A = this chain, B = another copy of it.
């Protein structure tokens, strides 16, 4: 499948003796070897990456993970830790014959403290189920994303997932208080602290957060969860320039302050795409160059509504926005979010999409989209005409986090278009000290482009960590670094 990559000759080959050993430490139901059983673990959720693993292990405890890793470490058998397998960069599936260690049988909530809001749970707990458990206690998981129904919280931590609540609750580097992991040699690292403050030594768990299974297998996490907000509100409005979008953001931070929970922006092209390729209805009748979705979450309905009302009136008076709507009920709120979330799907309907999930300093964020259109035109491409392969070039994303989704929708994938875009996009980002992967991670797909976001001195420090913690390179090989 990947002619440019060869299997690492240092790695052992799986033998019957290995299988026998795994059978001695795991029940039969935890060992999958049938082709049919294996396929779901070999292929990623986008069906873009396909590995050739012959063995999936589903341990039920941290100790079982430890026994597996000890054996794999001694035998130099490469492994891929796998959570809900919902990643978007091919990080959670094997490349060759790596053993898949699925965390799905490690799915218990270990403890929850109603006073502090600190939850300790197995890595394999489903995000949505964990959030529902917390909802019963008036708390919320500080992370939300589209794949919540199947992704694991251990996988979320391993990939430092971003998602929809980051603007309000910050990144997992702040809210994860502890990590329990099994290292390449089988050592169990007990770092499941339940403390908000702990200045005793290097914060090693931070290395595991976002390491995508390349340093160890995360088996448990401890997370500080905020109180669930009692009230939510959503507004949607149109603006005529990106400068005004930025002004509306600064004003939102000032007027809405502590209740601001999302600030999403979309360009005209992305909205036209949804209008054309979905059944959804535009939230606003008139059309504008840019649109913004603002969400608030707070503890007092009348206070929140008053703040939001004043904010919108202030925007109108200052002529920052042209037109807007404030959701009047739960259904309208949901409709507006569905409209926003309809963008990726409506893009996918055209044939193929070149997706760039990038971070760029705010002032230059939208310039990336404009320059991309200009670049394609300069290279002789037409955009959106009947004959052209390129259907649309759109920009939208989590403006509050500086996270742009640049999407180039095509009728069919072509090496020509790809070469017009790459590495140009990455070079453009590098010049502005942006990130080539804001939230999706590196995995298999982005590994070759790391140098566009990190300089050599930083990459060297990373490699030193990798080499010292996983000297034989058996943890999720061919990826990340």
Q: Which residues of B contact A201 (CB under 8 A)?
A: 210, 442, 450, 453-454, 458-459, 462, 480-481
Task: List residues 135-191 of chain A with CB under 8 A from any CB of chain B.
Answer: 138, 159-160, 162, 166, 170-171, 173-175, 183, 187-191
Q: Flag whether A129 is at the interface (Cβ < 8 A).
A: no
Check: A67 CB closer than 8 A to any chain B CB: no
Which residues of A95-131 are within 8 A (CB) of B?
Answer: 113-118
Given the known interface contacts A210-B203, A227-B257, A257-B227, the answer about A359 and B115 at a Cβ–Cβ threshold of 8 Å is no
* A197/B465 in contact, CB under 8 A: no
The total of chain A residues at the interface (CB under 8 A) is 98
* A474 vs chain B, min Cβ distance (A): 17
User: A453 CA to B200 CA in the complex, in Å?
Assistant: 7
Q: A359-B196, A402-B116 are contacts. A138–B254 as well, Cβ < 8 Å? A: yes
Q: Nearest Cβ in chain B — how far from A300, in angstroms? A: 6
What is the distance, in angstroms, from A434's C-beta to the closest C-beta of chain B?
7
Q: Say yes or no for A375: interface residue by CB 8 A criterion.
A: no
Determine the chain B residues whose CB is within 8 A of the CB of A253 once the complex forms. 117, 227
> 1/0 per position for A421-459, CB-CB distance to B under 8 A?
000000000000111111111100010001001110111
Task: Please name all residues of chain B whose beta carbon is closer than 8 Å to the beta carbon of A199 when the two chains form the complex.
Answer: 159-160, 162, 210, 435, 437-442
Q: Is A276 an interface position by the 8 A CB rule?
A: no
Contacts of A209 in B (CB 8 A): 203
Interface residue A34 (Cβ < 8 Å from any Cβ of B): no
Residues from chain B with a CB closer than 8 A to the CB of A340 are none
A194: B residues at CB distance < 8 A: 361, 433
Query: Is A461 an interface residue, CB under 8 A from the partner?
Result: yes
Verify if A202 is at the interface (C-beta below 8 Å from B).
yes
Taking a contact as CB atoms under 8 Å apart, the answer to whether A437 and B200 are in contact is yes
Distance, CA A204 to CA B215, complexed state (A)? 13
Q: How far is the CB of A262 from chain B (nearest CB, A)?
A: 14
A469 is an interface residue with CB less than 8 A from chain B: yes
Contact residues in B for A300 (Cβ distance below 8 Å): 303, 306-307
A382 touches B (CB below 8 Å):
no
Residues 182-236 of A at the B interface (beta carbon under 8 Å): 183, 187-191, 193-204, 206-207, 209-211, 215, 227, 229-230
In the complex, what's the smallest C-beta–C-beta distance from A400 to chain B, in angstroms?
8
Which of A114, A259, A434 is packed against the most chain B CB atoms within 10 Å?
A: A259
User: How many copies of this chain?
Assistant: 2
Given contacts A199-B438, A298-B258, contact A187 B457 (CB under 8 A): yes
A189–B460 Cα gap in the complex (Å)? 10
A362 contacts partner chain B, Cβ-Cβ < 8 Å: yes
Query: What residues of chain B lie closer than 8 Å to A62, measured between beta carbons?
Result: none
Q: What are the residues of chain B within 8 A of A439 when measuring CB–CB?
A: 197, 199
- A195–B459 touching, CB < 8 Å: no
The answer to whether A457 touches B202 (Cβ under 8 A) is no
A249 within 8 A of partner (CB): yes
Q: Give the residue of B113, B173, B307, B469 whose beta carbon is less than 8 angstroms from that of A461.
A: B469
- Which residue of A203, A255, A436 has the most chain B CB atoms within 10 A of its CB atom? A203
A299 within 8 A of partner (CB): yes
Residue A267 at the B interface, CB < 8 A? no
Closest-by-CB residue of B relative to A207 is B202
Task: Name the B residues within 8 Å of A259 (CB-CB).
Answer: 258
B303 lies within 8 A of A306 (CB): yes
In the complex with contacts A210-B203, A250-B114, A258-B438 CB distance below 8 A: no
Is the C-beta of A464 less than 8 angstroms from some C-beta in chain B?
yes
Given A402-B197, A457-B187, do A202 and B462 touch, yes or no (CB 8 Å)?
Answer: yes
Contact status B433-A299, CB under 8 Å: no
Enumerate chain B residues within 8 angstroms of A200, measured Cβ to Cβ. Answer: 435-437, 442, 446, 450, 453-454
From A466, which residue of chain B is reached at the shortest CB distance? Answer: B202
> How far apart are the CA atoms of A363 and B111 in the complex, in Å?
14
Task: A162-B199, A199-B440, A200-B450 are known; give 14 further A-B pairs, CB within 8 A.
Answer: A190-B455, A196-B401, A197-B439, A200-B436, A201-B453, A202-B210, A202-B215, A204-B461, A206-B206, A230-B257, A258-B259, A258-B298, A464-B469, A467-B468
12 residue pairs of the A-B complex, CB under 8 angstroms, read: A166-B196, A166-B197, A170-B175, A173-B173, A189-B458, A190-B458, A196-B403, A201-B210, A202-B465, A255-B299, A258-B299, A467-B468
Give me the 3 closest cross-chain CB pairs, A-B, nearest first. A174-B174, A206-B206, A257-B299
